[in-house]
Structure 1
Amino acid sequence: MLKRIPKWLKNRYLLTTAAFVLWVSFFDRNDLFTQGERARDLRTLQKSKTYYTTQIEAAKRELDQMTHDPSALEKFAREKYRMKKDNEDEFTIDDAPSKNAQ
């Protein structure tokens, strides 16, 4: 019966190499599927890193502008925190469409 088995299947180095490749590809803790998921996660994290880097740069520019320009600080306080001077009236316009405007 052993004479029917091809010679290349009797090669123990080939069998060991094939078993190693199968183990690393499918059964190991760092198999191919896990590596694919990690690569996808890495791309997502790199995109979020660029987003947050641009947000940090914009915040630094805004902080620098408010530090050196009092009118920019006043504009920021009026827009973000709706602050006003004592002798002013504040009018807020809502851009959202109302339900009665149909």
Structure 2
Amino acid sequence: MQRLVDLFRNKFFLVTVAFVVWMTFFDKNDLLSQYQYHQEVSNLKQERDFYKEQTTKVAKDLDELTTNPQKLEKFAREKYLMRKDNEDVFVIVKEKKD
């Protein structure tokens, strides 16, 4: 018991405990902030990977559209509702349910 009392009277031990408590809970870079930063970095990495995949996909589609006339025609018909002179295009729109 005396050793424990002596330990708490030791100024170096008290300063060390105060420093650890301060760095853990009260500092600008405390544990909660570090966890939030880690989560944000993780989310940003996921977004980066998603956008890299999308960029690759769009680049592949662009390459196909510039080299393949059938793909270009299909794209124009689907996205911009283009048609040939002798055909009709019917657009079916689904009703929104409230």
Q: TM-score range by the shorter chain?
A: 0.7 to 0.9
Q: Which residue number corresponds to residue 26 of structure 2?
A: 27
Secondary structure, in 3 states, of the residue corresponding to 1:88? coil
Q: Percent identity?
A: 41
Q: How big is the alpha-carbon RMSD for the aligned residues of Structure 1 and Structure 2?
A: 2.0
- What TM-score comes out, normalization by structure 2 length? 0.85
Secondary structure, in 3 states, of the residue corresponding to 1:6? helix
- What TM-score comes out, normalization by structure 1 length? 0.82
Q: Which residue number corresponds to residue 12 of structure 1?
A: 11
> What is the total number of aligned residue pairs between the two structures?
95
Q: Which residue number corresponds to residue 64 of structure 2?
A: 65
Equivalent AA in structure 2 for residue 64 of structure 1: D
Secondary structure, in 3 states, of the residue corresponding to 2:14? helix
**Structure 1 ranges of 4+ moved more than 6 A:** none
Q: Which residue number corresponds to residue 83 of structure 1?
A: 82
Equivalent AA in structure 2 for residue 20 of structure 1: F
Cα distance, 1:29 vs. partner?
0.7
Q: Distance in 2 between matches of 1:9 and 1:64?
A: 72
Unaligned runs of at least 5 residues, structure 2: none
Cα distance, 1:83 vs. partner?
0.8
Unaligned runs of at least 5 residues, structure 1: none
